[in-house]
Each structure stands twice: as structure tokens, then as C-alpha cells.
Amino acid sequence: MLLAVLAFAFTSVTCAREEAPQASSAEQTAPAAATSGDDVVATVTQLEQEWVAAIVKRDTAALDRLLAEDFAGTSPNAHLYTKKMAIEDLTRGTYTVESMELDEIAVNPYGDTAVAFTSQDEKSRYGGSEVSGHYHYTNVWVTRDGRWQAVASHGTRYQSGHASGS
């Protein structure tokens, strides 16, 4: 299951240019890279929420904006996937989400990098199979060319009643 399409999947890395191109509407709404720890937490929290909304709405333009070109994800069933694969799964209808709700987001900033820990409930299907459940994600965000993008994601399906191990 390719959830970081999320998860939840989501912008191309802008290249340095001599002349600034006209920004698309998706880029115009992207928050600028924050500088203080509190700003980074607020910005990445907002981006995590946008990622979830993009998956539910099948908004591939938003996913393209949120996910770096070199994005690498690991789904809850241990499959590796890229930005391209995450977007294609939504475009083709391989991954469909009826609802996805974040119930927890914690962000730890480290300069131009931030690590977000999220928890979510979703009602979804992948490849025709029911994959609804509760998931935890660790997402890595970096700021490049003045904006934050997800570069990595790792998902785990959470099942209550299991002891945590070390």
C-alpha cells in the first residue's frame, strides 16, 4: 500500500533560475520556509494537513508541490515508493481514500530539516483491497529554495493491544 501518497504522496524541487518564473496557484499558496522553531512547527503541521487533504481530494497538483522530486517512502506493508508512484496510484485510482483524519501531529525542527510524527485514521482501499485502519507516520521535511517539501516517509499500521518493544 502506498500511503504517503500521503501520506500522505506529496512538489517538484524548484531549480535556481536567473529569472523567477510566474508562480502557479499551488505554489502561491505554499508557505515560505519558516525560520524560528515555532514557525517551522506551525508550517510543517499545516503541510501535513495539506498532504492529507490532497490525498482525499486526489489533488495531484498539491502532491506534486508537497513532495520533493527525490521523495522516498516506505508504505505500512514495507513497499518502497517514489513521488511518481504515489501520484500515479491516486491518478489511476489504485489508492482511494474516503476519509483520512490526522489525530496527532508532532514536529521536531532541526534547522532546514524537520521530522514530523503523525497518527491518522483512514477509510481507504488499495488495489481493490480494504486497507482502512489507524496508521503512524514519520515524515522528513526539508526546506529548499525557500519552501518546505517532504523528502521521506515511513508508515506503520497501528494495532492496539500490542506491546511496544525496544
The pLDDT tens digits for 54-87 are 999 999 999 999 999 999 999 998 999 999 999 9
CATH of the domain at 96: 3.10.450.50
Q: Is residue 153 part of a domain?
A: yes
Q: Is residue 151 part of a domain?
A: yes
Rounded Cα gap, residues 126 and 22, in angstroms? 36
Q: Is residue 16 part of a domain?
A: no
Rounded Cα gap, residues 16 and 82, in angstroms? 23
Q: Is residue 22 part of a domain?
A: no
Q: Is residue 122 part of a domain?
A: yes
Rounded Cα gap, residues 153 and 75, in angstroms? 8
Parent domain of 89: 28-158
Q: Is residue 149 part of a domain?
A: yes
Q: Phi/psi at 88 (nearest 5 deg)?
A: -65, -40
Number of domains in the chain: 1
In a 10 Å sphere around its CB, with 0-12 CB exposed, 13-18 middle and 19+ buried, how is residue 134 labelled?
A: middle
Predicted structure pTM score: 0.76
Cβ-Cβ contacts under 8 Å for 39 (sequence gap 6 or more): none
Rounded Cα gap, residues 47 and 129, in angstroms? 28
Q: Is residue 7 part of a domain?
A: no
What's at 26, amino acid-wise? A
Of 142, 136, 139, 141, whose CA–CA distance to 153 is shortest?
Answer: 139
Q: Encode pLDDT of 74-125 as tens digits.
A: 999 899 999 999 999 999 999 999 999 999 999 999 999 999 999 999 999 9
